[in-house]
Amino acid sequence: MKRGLNETCNQFFSTLANPTRLAILELLRKGPKNVTEISKTLNQEQSMISHNLKPLENCNFVFAKRKKKERLYSLNKETIEQLFKIFAYHAEKYCPTEGKCLTDRDLQERRRKEAANRLYVTRH
Amino acid sequence: MKRGLNETCNQFFSTLANPTRLAILELLRKGPKNVTEISKTLNQEQSMISHNLKPLENCNFVFAKRKKKERLYSLNKETIEQLFKIFAYHAEKYCPTEGKCLTDRDLQERRRKEAANRLYVTRH
DNA sequence: TTTTCATATGAATGTTACTTCATATTCATC
DNA sequence: GATGAATATGAAGTAACATTCATATGAAAA
């Protein structure tokens, strides 16, 4: 397959395409946090936070530095704030009611329900 | 789970997190194209292109309008060009050799190979 | 009004990513 | 160098997503 924008670009957006990771990024906007703090604030298992921090760090969306026994994670504000800004602008303009932006999955579910409904009407 | 940046944001990035869809977006930078043209240029099945155009359209990353029998898809340049610009800047700065940005999958594979190698060495 | 071209849809299957739990590693302190 | 606290890793199961092939729909032309 023809791929101009390379694997790296896919990686870039894939790393952002996860609710846990987005939550981490949003939390880190407030300032640096260690793993335990993130884990507790987001009410998620520590191992899950670590697993999700890894791709964020690989992509340089967050930076880490040791502080005694802890690892302090901080946000790459330059990149992330810009991205969130674009998103916010786009969402404001195009998804004001959040009524758009449906997944295939949503559409599938909707169809299922419509079909069930049709069936229900037909039955009577 | 605590989720500040909502579902819409995840959707936003998830839609971008796919090589086929990125290829479509990049192609549309050159100008509007219909489904068949996209399909042929990217050398992908028409149904696949259609399936992937749907989320792009849902998120308003592309716009569609009829032209006779065809549907002409065009880019939401405002959003997409900005995103690509940020990505390009970030990649330039942080992944100059594309040596970073490894997935869990990559790391897993690397480990497998290393393990196999260790085993190989041990055998002799 | 049926034929053809262009696109969309559905359902099935394959592929990838996420989550979890158990355990390993790392680093400081005793 | 043993212990404890903080974090990372591995492997397995599960859920989500992408892809494919067959077919349906829609729009124009004959």
Cβ of A44 less than 7 A from strand D: no
B-chain CB neighbours of A29 within 8 Å are none
Q: What is the pLDDT of residues A46-64, one digit of tens each?
A: 999 999 999 999 999 999 9
In the 37-66 segment of chain B, residues within 7 Å (Cβ) of strand C are 46-47, 50-51, 53-54, 64
Mutating which of A3, A6, A90, A97 best tests the B interface, going by the most B Cβ atoms within 10 A? A90
Q: What is the pLDDT of residues A55-106, one digit of tens each?
A: 999 999 999 999 889 999 999 999 999 999 999 999 999 876 654 454 444 4
Beta-carbon separation of B94 and A59 below 8 A: yes
pLDDT at A94: 87
Domains and CATH numbers, chain B: 1-75 (1.10.10.10), 77-124 (no CATH)
DSSP A40: H
CB atoms within 10 A of CB A57: 17
Q: What is the pLDDT of residues B12-69, one digit of tens each?
A: 999 999 999 999 999 999 999 999 999 999 999 999 999 999 999 999 999 999 999 9
Would you list the DSSP string of chain B? ---SS-HHHHHHHHHHS-HHHHHHHHHHTT--EEHHHHHHHHT--HHHHHHHHHHHHHTTSEEEEEETTEEEEEE-HHHHHHHHHHHHHHHHHH-TTS-S---HHHHHHHHHHHHHHHHHHHH-
pLDDT at B98: 53
User: What is the distance in angstroms between the CA of the first residue and the CA of the last residue of chain A?
Assistant: 51
Q: Which positions of strand D lie within 7 Å of protein CB atoms?
A: 4-11, 16-23, 26-29
Beta-carbon separation of B20 and A1 below 8 A: yes
